[in-house]
Amino acid sequence: MTLRHLLEIDDLSAEELKAVLDASEAPPQEVLHKRGVALIFEKPSLRSRNSCEMAVVALGGHPVHITSSEISLDVRESVEDAIRTFNGYYSVFAARVYEHSKLERMIRVAQRPVINLLSDDGHPVQALADLLTIRQSLGSLAGITIGWVGDFSNVARSLALGAVSLGASFRFAGPSAYAPRTEDIERVMARAQGGATMSVHAKPFDAIDGANVVTTDSWYSMGQEDQKEIRRRAMEGCTVDSRMMSIAAKNAIFLHCLPAHRGEEVTSEVLDGPQSRIWQQAHNRMHTFRGLLLWLHGQGSIT
C-alpha cells in the first residue's frame, strides 16, 4: 500500500494537485463501499462536517463524526493511542484540530491516510475548494493574480501554496504584525510555477489593483476571541467593499471561506454581489473532498 497524507497543500505536487481538482469534477464512484471514514473534530464546523459527510456518502462510505467530548485527544487518551485504535475501524482519518502537531503525531502511527480538515498552520481542503472555484469561474489559474486582504491566516497560507503551484501570483496586503513571515514566502515561492510570484503590500489597494480574484478571511478565528478588539483596530482599512472591488480586474471574483463577519472583513454588498462566488466555493468543499478521496483511492492509499 502506498500511504499518502494531506496535511498541507505542498504534500501534493503540481500535477497531483491538478489531478485532485479533475477528480473533484468526475462522477462519483462507490470506492468507499462498506468502508468507514473517521471525521475527528476538536473544533466544530458547518462546512467541514457537512461537506465531508456528504462526500463520503457519495462514494458509498460511512462517515462517523467524532467530537472532542467523545475523544478528548491527550486528555482521556493520547493522540497515538486513539489513532492506533482507529486503525482497526476506519479507512481514512480526517481531523480538524487546534495544534498542527497533533496531525503530525497521527501520521507517525496511522496505517490509513490522514487529512487535515483545519489546523493552526493550514487549511488545505479549503484551498482545494478555492482553487476549483477559481478554475471554474476563470477557466484557469495560470497567469492570474489573487489579492488577499487582512491576516495571513492558515487559510491564506494554504491558498498561496496552491495558487503558485498552478501558475497564479499571490499578493498579500495587511498590517505587518499579521503579514507572512520570511519562511512563509520562501515556502510558497519554492512551489512557484510558470512565473508565479508572491508579494507583500502595506496598502490593500496595492494588492487588489487589477487582481482577478479578491479574497479575505475573518480577522479572528475560533480560539482567538480574546484578540477580537486588538485585531479589529489593527485591520482598520482592510474591509473589502465595493470601492476596493472596483479597482480589481473587470472579470474579478470575490471569495471568502466563511463564516463571514459582515461589515468587518467584508461588506454585505460584496458578499451578496454579482462578483461573489462564496456559495459555489462552499459547495465545492464537498466536491473537492470527494475528489481528494477518489485520488487517494487511485494512489492505493485507501484499501
Report the catalytic residues.
96, 123, 126, 217, 257, 285
Percent helix / strand / coil, the chain, rounded to 5: 45, 15, 40
- Distance CA(298)–CA(45), nearest Å, equals 28
Strand partners, 215: 148, 255
14: number of Cβ within 10 Å:
17
Report residue 299 as a C-alpha cell: 494512489
Cα separation, 243 vs 245, in Å, equals: 5
Q: How are beta strands 213-216 and 253-256 bridged, if at all?
A: parallel
Backbone angles phi, psi at 16, to 5 degrees: -65, -40
Residue recorded with cell 471561506 = 257
CB 244, CB 208: distance < 8 Å = yes
d(CA 184, CA 141): 21
Contact 168, 18 (CB under 8 A): no
Distance between CA 212 and CA 168 in Å, rounded? Answer: 10
Locate the DSSP E strands across the chain.
36-41, 62-67, 92-96, 114-118, 145-149, 169-173, 198-201, 213-216, 253-256
Cell of 82: 486513539
* Beta carbons of 246 and 272 less than 8 angstroms apart: no
